[in-house]
Structure 1
Amino acid sequence: MDQNQSLPTAITDLNEDSLAHCATFLNLHDIFNLATTCKFEDPLVVDMLTEPEPYNLMLLDRDDVFVSRGSSIRMMKIPKIFGRSHSLTTLNDHNARITCMRLFPLTETSLFRSEGKKSGNFLVTSSSDHSIRLWWKGSCQKCFRGHSGPVSTLSDKLLGDGSSKVLASGGEDGTVRLWSLGSSGKRGKSALKATLHGHEKPIKLMSVAGHKTSLLVSIARDSKVRVWDVTASSTIRSSCCVGLTSLPGAPINIKCHESLLYAATSSSVVAVDLRTMQKVLTAAAYQPFLYSFEMIPSKSLICTGGRGSARLWDVRRNQDALKPEPIAELDGHRGAVNFLHMDPYKIVTGCPDNVDVNVWEADSGAHANSLSCWFTESADSSTTLSSMAVNGCRVVTACYAEDLGLLRCRDYTNASRPIVRHDEVVSKFWDSQCYDDNNNDTSDV
């Protein structure tokens, strides 16, 4: 063949969204035949031994994994891992426990304009040492100081439009601080744009409104909710608070979608209209305790983690219901489901007391697979799952026991064999450990 001749487009050239769209036109038998005839390399599973201590926070960003342990951050490149070059880069600039980690697009800030093409994300961390640090290319680029106590949380998105984006932080001092990402100077002394007062307790969670990027929602430990309009925050005062309400129970997690705030507390998930600050529905009710919450706004689906199981809910079905009911029960865990990931294709659940994480189909809640996070499928009572992160077809987990720890990275992008169970649920998220030497499925059904 002429080497200069362009090759035809193959199915392997398509991205995940395109493949998923094409699959909607196929029946189950066609999808199974397609999966069994594709000749890809085997899924990649690589382990890295670590200290017998927990990793607290974890983020998975394309080829980068970020995990926090106390005051330090471990950074790792996935291609190096699967190329058998096992290495961790340690970032030690914080001198107290890291409380929050976020990733923001480089295109939303002018901080690194001199570095050429801006692609990818930069990392932002907050700490109990009262500081906020911005990281890029393995080093600290900025340090913001201003809180009089530990910084407890960061906004999930940057506020504002255009090039003048603002980062929001919440502290145990009860204040919300706004930081300009266009300030000069590495120490960031001139970055503090405003300090917003009003909360009486430490701030636990913050989220940017979906219908207006200048609105910030914050919730304190006492479950008091405040909405701030940062366009009115030119002075240090509380007058830019444009909404106030209170929720029952301890705050667990919040998500904003369009003009609604979905707030998960210890017993329920409620939706609040940010324009009126009135509760419009109870999306989920959970007893005796809710530990985690995620949602897919585009599909009106939410997932909550409880003790021993997670539950899948359809917001549309519960709009007029006095007592909301889940559409699926995702059971099989031995303890509290603290780790929860949700995207349009799958749900991944895990709990500290289990060495397995479970994968479920997002639309139906059907169980797709159980992935072991330890050396063997069985572990003693001292083995703990400390963190989990999922991005597309990649799953990273961290476990530790009394004498060692394990960081396990899986990449199912090129998985060649699907799981086919008795109920004919087909999933790409299979585990090579579930097959014997003759390619027979040995996983539990």
Structure 2
Amino acid sequence: MTSKFLKKIAYSDSIWLHRFSLRWPLEMLSSSSSGVRQAYLDWRTALHQFKFADPFVLDLYTEARHFDHILLDKNDIIFSQGSIIRMMKTDSFLGGGSLVRMSDHNARITCMRLFPLNETSLVRSEIQREENVLVTSSCDHSIRLWWKGACHRCFRGHNGAVSTLSDKLLGAGGVKVLASGGEDGTVRLWSLSSSGKRGQQALKATLYGHQKPVSLMSVAGHKPSLLVTMSRDSKVRVWDTNTSSAVRSSCCVGMTSLPGAPVDMKCDEALLYIAAGSSVVVVDLRTMRKVNTVAICQPKLYSFAIMRSKSLICTGGFGKALLWDIRRSQEASKPKAVTELDGHMGSVSLLHMDPYKIVTGGLGDNFVNAWEIDTGKQTNSLLCNRPELGNTNIGCSAMAVNACRIATASYGESQGLVSFRDFSGAVRPTSSKCNDDEEEADVWKFWGTQNI
């Protein structure tokens, strides 16, 4: 069978019509359409970019309190307020499904992460390997591992609040290690393979070196044993966790520092992108030398996100976000934004980037906005709160985005609100308010709606 023949099959209208009917059974191609494959891809892209006015919406009202964190995990929405975690299943809540309340922590939760279940000692069958576990840190000095709404491990060792957790697990083999940073300035390594609910044997090493509380952590992409940490005084340390011993080890293999308060940092292979003060700086982890400054956002940065596959970063400032091309910034003596994502009230403290879109929001704005990642054109504006929340309502307190789904959290003096939207089954395009009319017509001319 030749590659030419296979390509002909892969691009045939019948194949793409079949794929279309499986995914969107209530929709059909108009009889005058052409280019079925491209039309399918355009429709799929539009769903990921929130270019529809009729997503599935689920609102959950809760107590009037600040939302610290929110995550989307398959059909679960997980969020925290103070010391309490709640988990809601979106596919069963309308049918009377319960809202799970997890209250084992006794102080504010500082960080929440999702990790694969098969990288812990909890996995029991092949079916469970696709599931995730929730790991949380708290001001109560503890770290907890949750699965199916229950706490299965509790790790203690920090002499103060646990301020952050590693964004990925360390290690390339079967034994995975979680890193935590604390107000005590230490970095601690924990084995997720240890048994016993209290996890007494879980602490593998304590790393000393920071003089201030550890605020940020990221695992290197080119070497999964390398952990990068940043403290509140903007001192950066790189640790090789493979060389650590049980107690009071010092395996620091690199150091640097930057001006300004730390905002965020992310590893991309051997490069480290650090947002601090009013700039984003790139550091080569192999030499610990500054490579370039790829973004400058005056007077200060509030948030930072990166989509390395498109060589783009986004920074949140006051009233707007800025989109930067990493390649252009490397060539210029002073970086210049390629697009302004304007129109927000207050600081843009919440950012999401994926291959299709950018989503921006903040505490001072009642709306979160979605934008095309390639053009910077606004595709939608989503309301985060309701009048019934009461006076002095907050804009967007927390946000999570996953593919065609988004969850936002807001609160007022009387109630809190978690609003979930799923665009995967939407059929009605947004008005031309956020899109160029002619371009929008080109996208939608392929499609018609089947009456039922």
Q: TM bucket by the smaller chain?
A: 0.7 to 0.9
2:180 is the counterpart of 1:177: no
Equivalent position to 1:141, from 128, 152, 165: 152
For the structure 1 residues 293 and 224, does the alpha-carbon distance in structure 2 shift closer, same or farther, using more than 3 Å as the test?
same
Which residue in the other structure is 1:61 paired with?
73
1:234 CA drift (Å): 2.2
For the structure 1 residues 13 and 241, does the alpha-carbon distance in structure 2 shift closer, same or farther, using more than 3 Å as the test?
farther
Q: Distance in 1 between matches of 2:72 and 2:39?
A: 33
2:296 is the counterpart of 1:285: yes
1:283 CA drift (Å): 1.0
1:42 CA drift (Å): 5.2
3-state SS of 2:396 partner: strand
Q: Distance in 2 between matches of 1:96 and 1:196?
A: 25
1:309-340 deviations in whole A, cap 9, x for unaligned?
A: 00111101100212101111001111011111
2:136 is the counterpart of 1:129: no
Question: Structure 2: which 5+ residue stretches go unaligned?
Answer: 1-16, 25-34, 442-452
Equivalent position to 2:255, from 234, 244, 254: 244
C-alpha contact (below 8 Å) 1:41/1:414 kept by paired residues: no
Which residue in the other structure is 1:435 paired with?
none
Q: Distance in 2 between matches of 1:149 and 1:362?
A: 41
Which residue in the other structure is 2:353 paired with?
342
2:151 is the counterpart of 1:167: no
Q: Distance in 2 between matches of 1:24 and 1:398?
A: 38
For the structure 1 residues 98 and 32, does the alpha-carbon distance in structure 2 shift closer, same or farther, using more than 3 Å as the test?
closer
Which residue in the other structure is 2:56 paired with?
44
C-alpha contact (below 8 Å) 2:121/2:194 kept by paired residues: no
Which residue in the other structure is 2:242 paired with?
231
For the structure 1 residues 330 and 24, does the alpha-carbon distance in structure 2 shift closer, same or farther, using more than 3 Å as the test?
farther
Higher relative contact order (Cα pairs below 8 Å, separated by 6+ residues): 2
1:152-231 equivalent positions in 2, closer than 5 A: 152-231=163-242
For the structure 1 residues 178 and 35, does the alpha-carbon distance in structure 2 shift closer, same or farther, using more than 3 Å as the test?
closer
Amino acid at match of 2:259: P
3-state SS of 1:118 partner: helix
3-state SS of 1:26 partner: helix
3-state SS of 1:319 partner: helix
2:136 is the counterpart of 1:109: no
Equivalent position to 2:318, from 260, 284, 307: 307
1:12-32 deviations in whole A, cap 9, x for unaligned?
A: 4369xxxxxxx997389x947
For the structure 1 residues 399 and 24, does the alpha-carbon distance in structure 2 shift closer, same or farther, using more than 3 Å as the test?
farther
Equivalent position to 1:261, from 272, 285, 293: 272
For the structure 1 residues 196 and 328, does the alpha-carbon distance in structure 2 shift closer, same or farther, using more than 3 Å as the test?
same
Which residue in the other structure is 2:90 paired with?
78
2:397 is the counterpart of 1:357: no
100-109 or 256-265: which moved more? 100-109
For the structure 1 residues 392 and 377, does the alpha-carbon distance in structure 2 shift closer, same or farther, using more than 3 Å as the test?
farther
1:81-133 deviations in whole A, cap 9, x for unaligned?
A: 3x353642110000111000000011222333369632221000000111000
C-alpha contact (below 8 Å) 2:53/2:430 kept by paired residues: no
Q: Distance in 2 between matches of 1:370 and 1:397?
A: 12
1:158-191 deviations in whole A, cap 9, x for unaligned?
A: 0001211100000011110000111111100000
For the structure 1 residues 401 and 239, does the alpha-carbon distance in structure 2 shift closer, same or farther, using more than 3 Å as the test?
closer
Amino acid at match of 1:423: D
C-alpha contact (below 8 Å) 2:389/2:414 kept by paired residues: no
Amino acid at match of 2:397: S
Q: Distance in 1 between matches of 2:135 and 2:351?
A: 22
TM-score normalized by the length of structure 2: 0.85
Question: Structure 1: which 5+ residue stretches go unaligned?
Answer: 1-7, 16-22, 428-445
Q: Distance in 1 between matches of 2:42 and 2:73?
A: 29
3-state SS of 2:309 partner: helix
Amino acid at match of 2:72: L
For the structure 1 residues 382 and 50, does the alpha-carbon distance in structure 2 shift closer, same or farther, using more than 3 Å as the test?
same
For the structure 1 residues 404 and 275, does the alpha-carbon distance in structure 2 shift closer, same or farther, using more than 3 Å as the test?
same
Which residue in the other structure is 1:297 paired with?
308
Q: Distance in 1 between matches of 2:190 and 2:46?
A: 49
C-alpha contact (below 8 Å) 2:121/2:192 kept by paired residues: yes
3-state SS of 2:118 partner: helix
Equivalent position to 1:120, from 111, 118, 131: 131
Aligned pair count? 409
C-alpha contact (below 8 Å) 2:319/2:344 kept by paired residues: yes
Amino acid at match of 1:187: R
Tell me the percent identity: 59
1:238 CA drift (Å): 4.5
Amino acid at match of 2:84: S
3-state SS of 1:318 partner: helix
Measured on the aligned residues, the alpha-carbon RMSD in Å equals 2.8
C-alpha contact (below 8 Å) 2:117/2:128 kept by paired residues: no
3-state SS of 1:80 partner: coil
2:7 is the counterpart of 1:13: no
2:432 is the counterpart of 1:423: no
